[in-house]
A = this chain, B = another copy of it.
Amino acid sequence: MTATLPATARVISQWLDQFETALKEGDIEQAAQLFGDESYWRDLIAFSWNIVTVEGRDGVRDLLASTLDRVRPHGFEVAEDLGEPAEAGGVAESWIRFETAIGRCVGHLRLRDGKGWTLLTTMYELIGHEEQQGDRRPRGAEHGANPNRQTWLERRTHEAEELGHTTQPYTVIIGGGQGGIALGARLRQLGVPTIIVDRNPRPGDAWRNRYKSLCLHDPVWYDHLPYIDFPKNWPVFAPKDKIGDWLEMYARVMELNYWGSTECRSAKYDETKGEWIVVVERDGAEITLRPQQLVLATGMSGKANIPTFEGMDVFTGDQHHSSQHPGPDAYRGKRAVVIGANNSAHDICAALWEGGADVTMVQRSSTHIVKSDSLMTIALGGLYSEEAVAAGMTTQKADLTFASLPYRIMHEFQIPVYDEIRKKDADFYARLGAAGFLLDYGDDDSGLFMKYLRRGSGYYIDVGASELVAGGDIKLESGVDVVRLTETGVVLTNGKELPADLVVYATGYGSMNGWAADLISQEVADKVGKVWGLGSNTTKDPGPWEGEQRNMWKPTQQQALWFHGGNLHQSRHYSLYLALQLKARMEGIPTPVYGLQESHHLR
């Protein structure tokens, strides 16, 4: 800190100096006094070995009282390499950097009236266990002469043959979608022996097997995997098969031990040995794996919610959950009824209509609709866009910026965004409403991303289907439910019977602990409780307030059981913290967990 620093940088540096002094002296009260009445400290494993947000000075006191002795944080400074401190609207903010006794950390600080308002602290690297990249990258060729030389291919082949048979992985990841793959790549870089198990033959098949018109609804800048960015020619919204190819190639060049065509049959934690007994069937042969850590990366959209309607057994047409829908090819000239009005329902209805089917959407409750273009420019553009990249925004900075906004107040930042979108697209929403479509914008009008974080459902990012609904091309029955199916159709609560050759249940997905019930036991699933959601006490996200997403990327009530997933952004960003938690445990680094969540809901 020097007198020549601009004013904002000086204010930030002074705060950091005072914070560091208080922490060094163990003066927790002094540290707490640096925060404002309203304040949030979000920590991603740097202090807490958890993903946790504490609130107010009491929260600061509590976090520090439990962790300060062990963490010994020091070297706080403005991280100028990430950008200059800035001030706007009475808030001074800056990237920061510091170290703990065991890790290198980066974070973000916002001051209001000179007091801490939001603090983000994240560990990105364990000292002494750095990833082999950049100036630490491996040499590849081993120079000199060595009669016992093994080539890269020999080592790789040997490892693949031994792992899971004569040697045991430290971690098994169930589910090889983008989540499992991103985590697997990080664990490979950290030297954590890992097997990824997936029922499909090839990485990417989970995408390839979906309905054929599927494209990512999130834009490319939001979707990068760790280590290898999508190239500059990659489409904004990647088609599913192209993503499939990318994941397959990524898994190969990142040298993941990916067991395709492998079903997990059961998993059981052996408390005595401190290891899991995971039974899988690989290409028809049963293999028992004994990893010390088990990660379920089965997809927050993994376990289908299939409703039970009277008459499903007598219906003579095709019926399936949206996750099983093969696309429209077989349904030209047929009558299709799609139950549901969220993303998959819209995509499937539009593809069926394009394929020449007669389509009716059955909307049982209101849906939040945002046009993709509006979402891109108004909601995401500042962090994830070509313009943001041109302005110097990196994926790391965008992810950390997003992470720096505490969930408790995130809706306050989101509400104005959706107010603007509603104004911009007023005609569009009016036409949809006139067609009878039931619209909402979230319980508190905070829009799509909060719905995603709270319940992971209840919205459609419009890429064209809404105009078909508004125009009557896709027929709509809204505010109704299904009474029963008949041999030839669907009877609704409004008394109508829709004749149907096909019924698609676009009825969403259940909590991921449903997978734990299937694979491990109902007892473990109940102990862990509901996965996902913030405890916001809004629809499908019951309280109490959790402050973070339940059970995701952090310790759960079941020892050595982890949940990983989310969209490509979350898979990328949070896989870092999950990977470091696993690495630390493998290395025997003490990882006392601050604030281990309780379970308040079974599913």
Contact = CB atoms under 8 A, between A and B. Distances in A.
A559 interface: no
A239 B145 contact: no
Contacts of A354: 145-147, 149
A132 B232 CA distance: 8
A358 interface: no
Given A149-B354, A153-B241, A239-B141, A233 B131 contact: yes
A571 B150 CA distance: 30
B228 A137 contact: no
B353 A235 contact: no
A245 interface: yes
A143 to B, nearest CB: 4
Given A227-B231, A235-B140, A145 B372 contact: no
A242 interface: yes
B134 A232 contact: yes
A189 B234 CA distance: 11
Given A232-B134, A245-B253, A252-B245, A356 B140 contact: no
A58 interface: no
A394 B345 CA distance: 46
Given A152-B241, A354-B147, A227 B232 contact: yes
B233 A227 contact: yes
A145 B467 contact: yes
Contact of A151 (B134, B241, B253): B241
A137 B236 contact: yes
Interface stretch (A60-68, A210-218, A417-425): A210-218
A133 interface: yes
Contact of A228 (B149, B156, B228): B228
B139 A239 contact: no
A124 interface: no
A438 to B, nearest CB: 21
Interface residues of A, number: 63
A336 to B, nearest CB: 15
A135 B386 contact: yes
B144 A467 contact: yes
A464 interface: yes
B137 A468 contact: no
Interface string A211-251: 01101100010000001100111111111011001101110
A231 B232 contact: no
Given A134-B386, A153-B212, A252-B249, A235 B147 contact: no
A216 B137 contact: no
A237 B140 contact: yes
B356 A147 contact: yes
A138 interface: yes
Contact of A141 (B138, B143, B234, B237): B237
Given A137-B234, A140-B235, A246 B241 contact: no
A463 interface: yes
A23 to B, nearest CB: 31
A145 B473 contact: yes
A383 interface: no
B220 A137 contact: yes
Contacts of A134: 232, 386
Contacts of A213: 149, 151
Nearest to A148: B354
A125 to B, nearest CB: 13
Contacts of A215: 140-141
A339 to B, nearest CB: 21
Interface string A454-465: 000000000111
A183 interface: no
Contacts of A249: 248-250, 252-253
Nearest to A372: B143
A28 interface: no
A32 interface: no
A235 B155 CA distance: 15
A140 B249 CA distance: 19
Contacts of A152: 239, 241-242
Nearest to A250: B249
A234 B136 CA distance: 10
A534 interface: no
Contacts of A140: 215-216, 220, 235-239, 242
Interface of A: 131-135, 137-141, 143-147, 149, 151-154, 156, 189, 212-213, 215-216, 220, 227-228, 231-239, 241-242, 245-246, 248-250, 252-253, 350, 353-356, 372-373, 386-387, 390, 463-465, 467-468, 473
Given A144-B464, A153-B241, 18 more contacts: A132-B233, A135-B387, A137-B234, A140-B220, A141-B216, A141-B235, A143-B372, A143-B373, A143-B464, A145-B350, A147-B354, A152-B241, A153-B212, A156-B241, A227-B233, A245-B252, A245-B253, A249-B253
Task: State the 3 A-B residue pairs at the shortest beta-carbon distance, nearest first.
Answer: A140-B235, A152-B239, A141-B215
